[in-house]
Amino acid sequence: MRYILKRLVVLVVTLFIISALSFIAFQLIPGDPVTKMLGVEATPERIAQLRELLGLDRSVMVRYFEWLSGFVTGDFGLSYSYSTPVSQLLGDKVITTSTLSAMAFALVVLISIPAGFLLARLSDIRSKGKGAAARRALATLAGAVNQIIMSIPPFFAGIILTYIFGLVLRLFTPGAFVSYSSGAGGFLLYLLFPALAIALPRSAMVVKLLRGSIQGELQGDYVRTAYSRGGSRFYVLIRHVARNAILPVVTFLAMTLADIVAGSIIIEQVFAIPGTGRLLLLSISNRDYPVVQAIVVFIASLVVVVNFLADLAYQYIDPRIRLG
């Protein structure tokens, strides 16, 4: 309980600092929402008029605390570009990005953990008997392929996947995004391929990490003891080695989840997904402060919450770790 409370305080402080920083950052870069809104109709009188109307003529501190007090009461303000309440604007985008990230993460876990164990077993140097050499050769080959997948940038993976699944196999229609409100099946299907594009390189990293970790653990004395007690190779691997080997992987997965949220910004571009990432980029260039603030806070809270969950997962896997 004390731990959760402590985490909550960390969350609040983090969000406070990050939101203040992003607010200040906009004061340092040139550009103004008003000039974007008026475009070539911008005259000094209309600029002054609109700045006053939007309250942009007041000091940064005043505006920040006004935004903050609105934010804590659930009022995220009005988007300058779209003249729509930010909460309404972001609702759909947050669901889309969260679903995409969750799917990508699920794919990383589903692909990499079994693949990692398989690869570790294939490349086990103590493996003897018929076909051992062939298995090791296969493992070397799989390791090389894994290395290649690891080095494909998600952007490029996205283009290749769109080409294969969208244009050749026609499993989905590139550019024809389906929002969740108009069909959950189509929505999940459309997001499956971008999620795969994000997941592939990261899965390859996890596979490599897990394989190394398992191989390290297999050298442990306890493994020999387990064998001498008559345990089969599979039994030893799962019952004894897995628990120890998975610990560094969990740390990495936690980091990956934060990374996935960031990676989705690029993937949203390639697959034309209307998520928070694309909206964030556009809002930054439009200087649409209320939208940027809300998205920054959303991403920051996501990262903090994910780290919290990762800590809980450690404790579950390795009870020696005490939180507090």
Partner 1 sequence: MRKLNKAAAVSLALALLLVMAAGCGKSELQAGKTSESPEGEPRREEIFIGIAQDIDDSLDPHLMTSAESRSVLFNVFEGLVKPTPDGKLAPAVAASYSVSETGDKFTFKLRSGVSFHNGDPVTTDDVVYSISRVAGLDTGTPLISAFSIVESVASPDDGTVVIVIGEANIEFLAYLTAAIIPKGYDSQETQPVGTGPYRYVSRSPQENIILERFDDYWGGATDIGRVTYRILDNAEALMMALRSGTLDFCAHLTATQMNELVGFDYNFVVGTMNLVQAVYLNNAVAPLDNETVRRALSHAIDRGEIMDVLSGGLGVPVGSSMYPAFTKYFSPELADYYAYDPELARQLLAEAGFAGGFELEIAVPSNHSPHIDTATVVVEQLREVGVTATIKLVEWGTWISDIYTGREFQATVVGVDASAMTARAMLERFESTNGRNFTNFSDAEYDEVFAAAIASTDDAEQVRLYKRLEAILTERAANLYIQDLCDVIAISKDVAGYEPYPMFILDISKLHFTD
Note whether 175 binds partner 1 by CB under 8 A: yes
Note whether 312 binds partner 1 by CB under 8 A: no
Among positions 22, 98, 269, 301, the unique one binding partner 1 when judged by CB under 8 A: 269
Cα 156 to Cα 65, 144, 198, 258: the distances in Å are 42, 19, 10, 20
Give the gyration radius of the chain's Cα atoms: 25
Nearer to partner 1, 129 or 230 (CB): 230
Among positions 76, 278, 293, 297, the unique one binding partner 1 when judged by CB under 8 A: 278
Note whether 56 binds partner 1 by CB under 8 A: no
Number of residues that bind partner 1 (CB under 8 A): 65
Question: What distance in Å separates the CA atoms of residue 248 and residue 265, rounded to the nearest whole number?
Answer: 27
Note whether 274 binds partner 1 by CB under 8 A: yes
Q: Which tokens hold the place of 134?
A: 């062939």
Do 156 and 269 form a contact (C-beta atoms < 8 A)?
no
Question: What distance in Å separates the CA atoms of residue 198 and residue 209, rounded to the nearest whole number?
Answer: 18
CB of 258 to partner 1, least distance (A): 21
Cα 137 to Cα 94, 131, 144: the distances in Å are 45, 10, 11
Among positions 1, 5, 28, 40, the unique one binding partner 1 when judged by CB under 8 A: 40
Note whether 28 binds partner 1 by CB under 8 A: no
Do 293 and 80 form a contact (C-beta atoms < 8 A)?
no
Nearer to partner 1, 39 or 74 (CB): 39
Backbone angles phi, psi at 204, to 5 degrees: -60, -40
Encoded one letter per residue, x for contact with partner 1 by CB under 8 A and - for no contact, window 220-259 reads ------------------xx--x-----------------
Q: Of the listed pieces 208-216, 224-232, 251-259, 286-294, which binds partner 1 according to CB under 8 A?
A: 286-294
Among positions 199, 202, 287, 298, the unique one binding partner 1 when judged by CB under 8 A: 287
- Transcribe 295-311 into DSSP letters: HHHHHHHHHHHHHHHHH
Among positions 190, 252, 289, 298, the unique one binding partner 1 when judged by CB under 8 A: 190
